[in-house]
Chain A
Amino acid sequence: MLRYSLRRTAQMVVVVFGVVTLVFFILRLASGDPARMMNPPGQQEEIIQLTREKIGTDRPLMVQYWDYLLGLPQGDLGKSFHGGHPVLGELLKVFPNTAMLAVATILFSSTVAILLGIGAALRANGAFDRLVLVYVSVALATPSFWLAIVLVLIFSVHFDWLPAIDMEGPKSFVLPVLTLAVMLTPVLIRTVRQSFLETLSEDHIRAARARGIPEHRVILVHGLKVAALPLVTLIGLQLGMILAGSYVVEFIFNWPGIGKLTLDAVAGRDFPMVQGGVLVAALAFVIVNFVVDLAYAALDPRIRMSAK
């Protein structure tokens, strides 16, 4: 178990390192001069040069990279080009907002998906199943940014029930969570349905019925315990995705989270902030994946026992 964790940690470090490096160089090679961007057009070259020195882009690329790498283990992610705040502080300030959105979304989506998926699987090809499948295919084709706008038009503009933007109180979660849920649920529902159909046709389900175990226990205990396994991976993946910043939703709803911060930073050529956003995304992914693997082992004795 210890060796496994060590190996996984090493893998995670490699992945994070790779992503951070990639983004570091892409930003600097593909982009124009941020110092020039930060100054009004037609600014004197000397002043632009002063800006370069201030934000440190005057130094050779490898020196900048080396400095950045040295800073990382100490939690020094550099300072924002705009305003000079430490990137880490800014990230920590907005991360809880993204985390709250992520947790609310995952709880809501997985509950809905499990209920709909089981319902569909139990009456495969029945009216309910067909209805759910229509929802799945329409939701898969729906652009999330468009859905967000339509929801705002209906619930904020027309009925004035819910706030259209900003994070203020529990009501402001409704529209972002709904939008994200329509993105996440189609794949979840399909997985639940498929997994349940497969599980329900397994021998042990029939054997459980043959032992006289009541149908609700057969489904909710014997079925769900087995059928839920593929879900764990998927839910983890989706959690990682929202934690990394749900760019579209945070953008539209002006949600003060990682995604909005990163988008603003890209638009403003704020390299250290973009790198910070990407680092959070990479970390969120590898850590959630690791936790998912642990959870998988905890849920499935076949894996748990073989890991010992």
Chain B
Amino acid sequence: MTDLATAGISPEAVAASAPARTHILRQLLKRRTFVIGAAGLTIIVLIALAAPFLAPHDPMTQDLGKGLAPPFWAKGGSLDHPLGTDTLGRDVASRLMYGARNSLVIALFAVLIASVLGLVAGLSAGFSRGWWDPLLMRFGDVQLAFPFILLAIAILGVISDRSAVHLILVLGIPTWILYARVVRSRVLAERDKDYVLGAKSIGASRMRQMWRYILPSVWSAVLVIAMLDFGFVILLEATLSFLGFGLTPPTPSWGSILAEGKRNMIISPWLAVLPGLAIMLTVLAINMTADGAADVLDPKLKISVFRRTPLKKPANATWTDLEGRAAASTRSQPVATKDEMGPPTLLEVSDLSVEFPLPDKVVKAVRHVSFDVHRGRTLGIVGESGSGKSVSAFSIIQLIEPPGRVTSGEVLFEGRDLTRISNYDMAQLRGIKIGMIFQNPASSLNPVLSIGSQMVETIRLHLKVSPAEARDIGSQALLNVGIGNPQAILSRYPFQLSGGMNQRVMIAMAMLTRPDLLIADEPSSALDVTTQAVVLERLREITREHQTSLILITHDIALVAEFADEILVMYAGQVCEVGPVRSVIDDARHPYTRALLQSVPRAEIESGKRLQAIPGEPPDPAELPPGCPFADRCVSVMGICRQVNPSQVRVRPHHDVACHLWSSDKDEEKV
């Protein structure tokens, strides 16, 4: 039978949250699940309340001459008994309506008892710092682990005259733990927060703390759990009645009507089917109401059946869309024509835009970005978080998190547009021609697979070798990134290694296939300073050795100054400034680049100047201003900056900047 623990309420998932109190009702009415569920529930409750007026007959009146009459739609049925009669000639429709009263009232009181008990237990456990809390919670664990219906059966089974009170107590008391756990975790979360401690220090009593500060964060959770519990108790009450442990006959309840119907189910199946439908619709209505309400009242309570992750597009829509286009347009691609003459360009990104469509807005993460990566050279992409630098990089290998999608532009790699090739072809390039390393090395390795098995998997994917040979190759690769005891590392798991060690493993794995391009997304920002230097030095050595092109993504302009050949500064999804590293560092033209340089404590960049933070916040990428996105924080802002988004202008050889300060005709719309 459905058990407490599987009723779908997971207390662990509950964290402290402050529900948005504004316009709760309006928000609720926007949820379709809530509206349908609440409407259904209201109808059912109204029918139950109005049973004495609505019911065509007395539910207890027997008429043996009219036993087992079929419902009105079946042959021989009449509207006098719209849903037919049972063996004793009692009207089924009337019994269902009165049964609803009993089922709903029992469930309501059981839920009340449970929530009050749970609230008290949870509050007292949360505030207790002694033995009470562990005792109560341990007891709850044991109770949760035990099939509670068995106890209910054992207790109710031995009571010979069962009244509604018995059922209410047996159904209500055991579910206290569901409430208590959530309440307790809320209390613990709130108890030591500054404002509660502050109230305490000014002498607010414990009771006052509870009422004013803690209960508000508890009530919404309790309300949602109570609604789910309500549906659960109705099911349980029906089950007990069905098994013969419900209200003593002839009092109708849905379960007992069903149990009676079961005996005659061959000749009159509706007797069994109808009460079940009533139960199902009621519980469905309750669950829908609770789910809808949970979204609004308590979004952290992860119980929702209906709730959707906030996506508009299915996970792989971009890929499948693009596959279709690729099949149509790029049949005869030139196969990796290597540009022997002229400047050897490996990767050519032009006019790239990436958007994340969310339910109520569109986040423009990357806007019309263009850049080139040359063979054997390093391009540094700099920007603060949210500037679109990582998204640009991920869109190169078509790994943007859904629902993000490329809305314009080309990514030409060895002559092929990566935004248009098939999913399969892309997978062939990833890991072979293009490698990638990530910001958080520990979480970028699979936590439950050993380093060795992950390396062997990658090696054997690309090379036809035996597992033992693959292990040797892996071991050699680890040696190459400066890991002295590769055999030991291979048998370890990521959580057993330091961040620096994990990152070197990532580099070794990415370099296994000697890729032409390596994308490093903040490879050192999760590491401590000394490890950073070691890891970056390895990265530089190994990319130089194999003539690998590197895209180094970072928020640290000093790092780029040291390691990159070219530099690309991004802000709010746009390119601010791009050019050879010395030219940009020594003669930064964009106010943002200058501000970045001034915020860096590095001797080789600027000396004798005060460090300066950049005041203000970047604009919301969903509501970008019409003009330059940096205008609000810019020290040199002009009138035009707020109206026209600047285009790129060339200020020095290969050095472009998107700023009105440098555009020759500031008054024109376009350059």
Contact = CB atoms under 8 A, between A and B. Distances in A.
Interface of A: 15, 18-19, 22-23, 26-27, 30-32, 122-126, 133, 136-138, 140-147, 149-150, 152-153, 157, 183-184, 186-187, 190, 194, 197, 200-204, 206-215, 217, 221-222, 225-226, 229, 234, 237-238, 240-241, 244-248, 251-252, 262-263, 266-267, 269, 274, 277-278, 281-282, 285-286, 289, 299-302, 305
A133 B305 contact: yes
B448 A248 contact: no
A171 to B, nearest CB: 20
B283 A140 contact: yes
Contacts of A286: 145
Contacts of B288: 137
B448 A153 contact: no
B314 interface: yes
Contact of B154 (A138, A142, A241, A274): A274
B474 to A, nearest CB: 13
A289 B450 CA distance: 27
Interface stretch (B3-11, B210-218, B574-582): B3-11
27 contacts: A122-B315, A140-B305, A143-B238, A143-B276, A144-B2, A145-B238, A146-B280, A149-B262, A149-B265, A150-B276, A153-B272, A157-B269, A183-B1, A201-B401, A210-B431, A210-B438, A212-B427, A212-B429, A213-B458, A214-B461, A237-B6, A247-B243, A248-B1, A266-B154, A299-B448, A300-B448, A302-B493
B6 A187 contact: yes
Given A237-B3, A244-B150, A301-B495, 13 more contacts: A26-B154, A31-B158, A31-B159, A141-B281, A144-B239, A145-B243, A147-B276, A226-B446, A248-B242, A266-B154, A267-B157, A278-B150, A285-B146
Contacts of B153: 247, 262-263, 266
B20 to A, nearest CB: 23
Given A144-B1, A211-B510, A241 B147 contact: yes
Nearest to B245: A266
Contacts of B423: 215
A146 B160 contact: no
Contacts of B275: 146
Contact of A203 (B5, B146, B438): B438
B269 A141 contact: no
Given A136-B305, A141-B283, A225-B446, A126 B239 contact: no
B628 to A, nearest CB: 32
Contacts of A277: 150
Interface residues of B, number: 91
Nearest to A137: B305
Contacts of B316: 122-123
A30 B159 contact: yes
A124 B308 contact: yes
Nearest to B312: A125
A39 to B, nearest CB: 15
Contact of B155 (A30, A215, A301): A30
Contacts of B147: 240-241, 244-245, 281, 285
A215 B427 contact: yes
Contacts of B1: 144, 183, 241, 246-248
B99 interface: no
A136 B276 CA distance: 17
Contacts of B151: 22-23, 26
B458 A150 contact: no
Contact of B427 (A141, A202, A214, A248): A214
Interface string B268-293: 01001101100111111001100100
Contact of A211 (B239, B311, B431, B495): B431
Top 8 A-B pairs, shortest CB-CB distance: A212-B431, A146-B276, A31-B158, A266-B157, A141-B283, A141-B284, A210-B436, A211-B431
B449 A225 contact: yes
B142 interface: yes
A136 B159 CA distance: 36
B622 interface: no
Contacts of A145: 238-239, 242-243, 255, 258, 276
A208 B281 CA distance: 45
Contacts of B145: 15, 237, 240, 285-286, 289
B8 A226 contact: no
B309 interface: yes
B328 interface: no
A241 B144 CA distance: 11
B284 to A, nearest CB: 4
Contacts, number: 257
B239 A203 contact: no
Given A183-B2, A187-B8, A281-B146, A203 B443 contact: yes
Nearest to B238: A143
Contacts of A301: 447-448, 450, 493, 495
Interface of B: 1-3, 5-6, 8, 142, 145-147, 149-151, 153-155, 157-160, 231, 235, 238-239, 242-244, 255, 258, 261-262, 265-266, 269, 272-273, 275-276, 279-284, 287-288, 291, 302, 305-306, 308-309, 311-312, 314-316, 394, 397, 399, 401, 423, 427-432, 435-436, 438-440, 443-450, 457-458, 461-462, 493, 495-496, 506, 509-510
A305 B316 CA distance: 37
Given A209-B399, A274-B154, A203 B440 contact: yes
B69 to A, nearest CB: 19
A186 B5 CA distance: 13
A180 to B, nearest CB: 10
B425 to A, nearest CB: 11
Nearest to B144: A237
A157 B266 contact: yes
B252 to A, nearest CB: 16
B413 to A, nearest CB: 14
A274 B158 CA distance: 11
Contacts of B6: 184, 187, 234, 237-238, 241
A248 B258 CA distance: 13
Contacts of A140: 8, 283, 287, 305
Contacts of A248: 1, 239, 242-243
Contact of A153 (B158, B159, B273, B449): B273
A144 B243 CA distance: 12
Contacts of B438: 203, 206-207, 210
B243 A123 contact: no
Contact of A210 (B150, B435, B457): B435
A238 B4 CA distance: 11
A212 B445 contact: no
A190 B154 contact: no
Contacts of B394: 206
A142 B2 CA distance: 11
Contacts of A149: 258, 261-262, 265, 272-273, 276
Contacts of A225: 446, 448-449
A212 B242 contact: no
Contacts of B311: 124-125
B305 A211 contact: no
Given A143-B238, A194-B302, A212 B443 contact: no
A266 to B, nearest CB: 4
Contact of A125 (B155, B265, B309, B428): B309
A211 B458 contact: yes
Contacts of A204: 443-447
A125 to B, nearest CB: 5
Q: Which of A144, A146, A186, A266 has the most CB of B within 10 A?
A: A146
B155 A137 contact: no
A137 B510 contact: no
A279 to B, nearest CB: 11
A147 B261 CA distance: 13
A7 to B, nearest CB: 14
A212 B428 contact: yes
Nearest to A215: B427
Contacts of B493: 301-302, 305
